[in-house]
Amino acid sequence: MSGLTRTDMRALVAARKRPLCEKLGDLPFDLQRQLIDFHRRNAQANIVEEALKNRSQRRLSVENPDYLSGAYAQIALQIHPDGQSSTANADRRTFVQPVDVELVSGVSALIGPSYRMRISSLAPGGSIPRHVDDPRQVRVISLLSGEQIFDFYQGDKVKTLQMRPGELWLINTAFEHCVHNPGKTPRLALLANLFAIPNSETDTSGLERSA
């Protein structure tokens, strides 16, 4: 993680004091199915290629994430008010405009106000290699369908988080982590960033930039 500023390092140290993961609840089955259907209907609206344009701004990766390829895709549920799903140098926390009002409202009622909500897909046999995300973001993940192996790395220790479809998990992605799809069908997952840590007065302060 070379090239980090002092601000980056302070944010990373602070974020790693938070729990590794915490279950927040469950998506209602109907909402889970609606999210899967939304992905099916919008599968061609992959925003990963757009994100690649700003890839050089990512400074917290442990290794170059080559998963930004045909094996991995993201479909936006919240976008920037100008209609863009990824805008260079834009504050990520401004990506709040819902693409589907009903779906975003349904998820927000369970997790609270969020930004950059999206659905990611990982092809069978595909992997997201070890990396660290911006520690100023608070991430919620829900496995929607398929299989995944989600590993956290803490020094020499590896913790595998067992997610069942529909469960909502608060994930501390300031720790190194990787994801692998061992199944024979695509893995779909809901991702969202929260404005505030649940049951805490701490907000997710600090600007995030597109990456």
Residues of the chain falling short of pLDDT 70: 1-3, 49-69, 87-89, 199-211
Residue 154 within any structural domain of the chain: yes
CA–CA gap between residue 102 and residue 75 (Å, rounded): 16
Q: Give the pLDDT of residue 3.
A: 62
Q: At what angle do helices 101-111 and 29-41 cross, to 10 degrees?
A: 140
pLDDT per position as a tens digit, 127-181: 988 888 888 899 999 999 999 999 999 888 999 999 999 999 999 999 999 999 9
Q: Which two tokens stand for residue 204?
A: 């997710």
pTM equals 0.87
**Which regions of the chain does DSSP assign to beta strands (E)?**
21-26, 72-76, 78-79, 97-98, 114-122, 127-131, 138-145, 149-154, 157-161, 167-171, 176-180, 187-194
pLDDT of residue 110: 96
User: 189: domain range?
Assistant: 6-194
Cα dihedral across residues 81, 78, 170, 121: positive or negative: negative
Residue labelled with tokens 């999210």: 35
In a domain, 129, yes or no: yes
**Helix or strand holding residue 185 (H, E):** none
Is 16 part of a structural domain of the chain?
yes
Residue owning tokens 């990963």:
48
- Answer for the pair 153, 1: CB distance below 8 angstroms, yes or no: no
Is 143 within the bounds of a domain?
yes
Does residue 204 fall inside a structural domain?
no
Q: How many domains does the chain have?
A: 1
Secondary structure of residue 161 in the 3-state scheme: strand
Is 113 among the domain residues? yes
What integer pLDDT is reported at residue 51 of this predicted model? 63
What CATH number corresponds to the domain at position 115? 2.60.120.10
Whole-number Cα distances in Å, 183 to 58, 125, 146 = 29, 7, 7
> From residue 67, how far is each of 3, 85, 121, 154, 178 by CA, in Å?
22, 19, 11, 22, 11
Tell me the pairing of strands 187-194 and 138-145. antiparallel
pLDDT of residue 63: 52
Taking the alpha carbons at both ends of the chain, their separation in whole angstroms is 16
Three-class SS of 68-128: CCCCEEEEECEECCCCCCCCCCCEHHHCCEECCHHHHHHHHHHHCCEEEEEEEEECCCCEE
CA separation for the pair 173, 176 (Å, rounded): 7
Assigned domain for 199 exists: no
Within 13 Å and on the Cβ side, how many CA atoms surround 6? 0
Q: Is residue 208 included in any domain, yes or no?
A: no
Q: What is the pLDDT of residue 57?
A: 47
